[in-house]
């Protein structure tokens, strides 16, 4: 019979995920990633990519404008901090809500088209939002400076609940627990676990199955009595809400929102994370986000001095040559590595790292288990 017993597997996956998130500080320490700021970034971009994957991985609609929803989430969160309270819960709820509404409006229009037209439409909308954030919407976005907290912000709810105003700028908190350092990371981590769990549920639900059907054959879908538009719109809005959540979390770790978060290169980054890890897989996008943010952190901190030291064992002329070649890819040149990675993945490993891992797994299994066939043949030959 069919193996529909995926539930147990998913539970194992989730438990493993929780353990990794909990132990990340220890796991990442030996490779220089065991500090809260970086891990927090992993979690935030992980959420962003998980959400993007619900749209791109399941339905195949390639959006080049998801950073716009991230931006909306960030602006909403900072405004909540300014107007209502420094507590993070209302900020997150409103971020998700606003991003969702924004995604609903945009999705309603852009989902009239599919394929490359959809990609270009999302790109057009994201660029429009970005341009507007820099120009007309300056009263809301504070233009190039970015939206920041001020001492005399209203913070109505904090006032009502008698939170005393300090001397300096207030910081974000969860009912008094500060959102910086390790508590900040674990807060983001818990949210990522919830986000991951929701994504598992969606993947395994009839709704998720319909989304995969959208990717596979829309024509058959409508002749099967299914209306594809609301399905794609729902996926679009859900992934927009994930992006809004990620944007809100960014504002929590650093209460400043700028329009550059909405630029289309930022949208390109989440696409890369998703395909790098493995489009349409549960774990892929999180892995992709982690790998990219980790290497960004490591690579962009390298400079020629460090490289010269690393290659000091080489003869001098070789040392200089190596440094100048590798220097292209690190530090300021990190984006070059990113672009090259993009190409390599699409060309050689369209299934992403998850596919790569399973390929390696297959090779190892074959290598460890020598073919049983010759022995049986020998046996039969002997018995004859």
Stretch of residues binding other proteins (CB under 8 A), selected from 80-88, 174-182, 223-231, 288-296: 223-231
Tokens found for residue 342:
């993009």
Name 173's bridge partners. 87, 178
**In the complex, what is the shortest distance from the CB of residue 274 to other proteins, in angstroms, rounded to a whole number?**
10
**Interface pick for other proteins out of 28, 43, 188, 202 (rule CB under 8 A):** 202
The residue (of 243 and 251) whose beta carbon lies closer to other proteins is 243
Least CB distance from residue 301 to other proteins, whole Å?
17
Q: Which stretch binds other proteins (CB under 8 A): 39-47, 72-80, 189-197, 208-216?
A: 208-216
The tokens for 159 are: 């006032």
Beta bridge partners of 178: 173
Rama region for 3: left / alpha / beta (φ>0; ψ in -120 to 50; rest) = beta
Closest CA to 283 of 12, 5, 2, 7: 12
286-345 positions binding other proteins, by CB under 8 A = 328, 332-333, 335-336, 338-343
227/383 with CB nearer other proteins: 227
User: Given the complex with other proteins, which of 29 and 336 has the nearer CB atom?
Assistant: 336
Considering the complex, state which of residue 227 and residue 380 has its C-beta at the smaller distance from other proteins. Answer: 227
CB of 251 to other proteins, least distance (A): 24
Q: Which is nearer to other proteins, 20 or 221 (CB)?
A: 221
In this structure, the number of other CB atoms found within 10 A of the CB of residue 106 comes to: 23
CB of 155 to other proteins, least distance (A): 30
For residue 14, the minimal CB distance to other proteins (Å) is: 14
219 in contact with other proteins (CB under 8 A): yes
Instruction: Pick between residue 202 and residue 354 the one whose CB is nearest to other proteins.
Output: 202
Minimal distance, residue 312 CB to other proteins, in Å = 23
The count of chain residues that interact with other proteins, using the rule CB under 8 A, is 76
Angle between helices 334-348 and 284-301 (to 10 degrees): 150
Q: Which stretch binds other proteins (CB under 8 A): 76-84, 105-113, 173-181, 242-250?
A: 105-113
**Which residue from 283, 282, 280 is spatially nearest to 351, judged by alpha carbons?**
280
- Of 224 and 312, nearer to other proteins (C-beta) is 224
| Interacting positions 117-176 with other proteins (CB under 8 A) | 117, 119-121, 123-125, 127-128, 131-132, 134-137
Q: Tell the smallest beta-carbon distance from residue 3 to other proteins (Å).
A: 7
Site for other proteins in 44-83 (CB under 8 A): 60, 62
What is the four-CA torsion angle of 251, 86, 140, 120, rounded to 10 degrees? 30
Subset of 257-286 contacting other proteins (CB under 8 A)? 264-265, 268, 271, 275
CA-CA-CA-CA dihedral for 41, 46, 49, 55, to nearest 10: -140
Query: Do the Cβ atoms of 42 and 35 come closer than 8 Å?
Result: no
CB of 175 to other proteins, least distance (A): 28
Q: Which of these segments, 106-114, 144-152, 239-247, 254-262, binds other proteins (CB under 8 A)?
A: 106-114
What is each CA distance from 304 to 238, 312, 356, in whole angstroms?
44, 12, 32
Q: Going by C-beta distance under 8 Å and a sequence separation of 6 or more, which residues neighbour residue 48?
A: 66, 70, 242, 243, 246, 270, 273, 289
Sort strands 256-257 and 147-148 into parallel, antiparallel or unpaired. antiparallel
Q: How many residues would you count in the chain?
A: 384
3-class DSSP assignment, residue 283: coil
């Amino acid at each position: 019979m069919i193996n529909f017993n995926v539930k147990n597997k998913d539970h194992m996956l989730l438990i493993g995920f929780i353990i990794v998130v909990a132990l990340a500080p220890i796991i990442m320490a030996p490779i220089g990633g065991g500090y809260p700021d970086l891990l927090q970034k992993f979690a935030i971009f992980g959420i962003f990519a998980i959400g993007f994957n619900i749209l791109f991985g399941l339905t195949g609609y390639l959006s080049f404008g998801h950073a716009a929803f991230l931006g909306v989430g960030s602006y909403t969160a900072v405004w909540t901090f300014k107007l209502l309270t420094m507590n993070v819960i209302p900020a997150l709820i409103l971020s998700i809500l606003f991003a969702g509404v924004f995604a609903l409006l945009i999705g309603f229009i852009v989902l009239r088209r599919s394929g490359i037209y959809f990609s270009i439409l999302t790109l057009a909308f994201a660029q429009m939002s970005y341009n507007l954030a820099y120009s007309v919407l300056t009263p809301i976005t504070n233009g190039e400076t970015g939206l920041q907290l001020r001492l005399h912000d209203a913070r109505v709810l904090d006032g009502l609940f008698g939170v005393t105003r300090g001397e300096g700028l207030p910081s974000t908190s969860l009912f008094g627990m500060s959102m910086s350092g390790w508590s900040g990371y674990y807060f983001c981590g818990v949210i990522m676990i919830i986000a991951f769990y929701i994504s598992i549920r969606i993947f395994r639900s009839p709704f998720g199955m319909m989304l995969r059907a959208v990717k596979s054959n829309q024509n058959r879908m409508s002749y099967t009595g299914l209306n594809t538009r609301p399905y794609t719109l729902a996926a679009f809005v859900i992934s927009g809400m994930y992006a809004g959540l990620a944007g809100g979390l960014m504002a929590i770790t650093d209460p400043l929102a700028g329009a550059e978060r909405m630029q289309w290169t930022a949208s390109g980054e989440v696409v890369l994370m998703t395909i790098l890890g493995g489009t349409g897989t549960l774990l892929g996008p999180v892995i992709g986000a982690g790998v990219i943010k980790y290497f960004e952190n490591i690579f962009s901190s390298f400079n020629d001095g460090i490289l010269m030291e690393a290659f000091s064992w080489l003869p001098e002329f070789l040392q200089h040559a190596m440094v100048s070649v590798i220097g292209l890819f690190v530090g300021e040149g990190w984006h070059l590595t990113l672009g090259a990675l993009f190409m390599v993945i699409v060309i050689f490993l369209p299934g992403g790292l998850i596919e790569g891992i399973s390929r390696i797994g297959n090779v190892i299994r074959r290598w460890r288990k020598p073919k049983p066939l010759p022995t049986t043949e020998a046996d039969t030959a002997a018995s004859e």
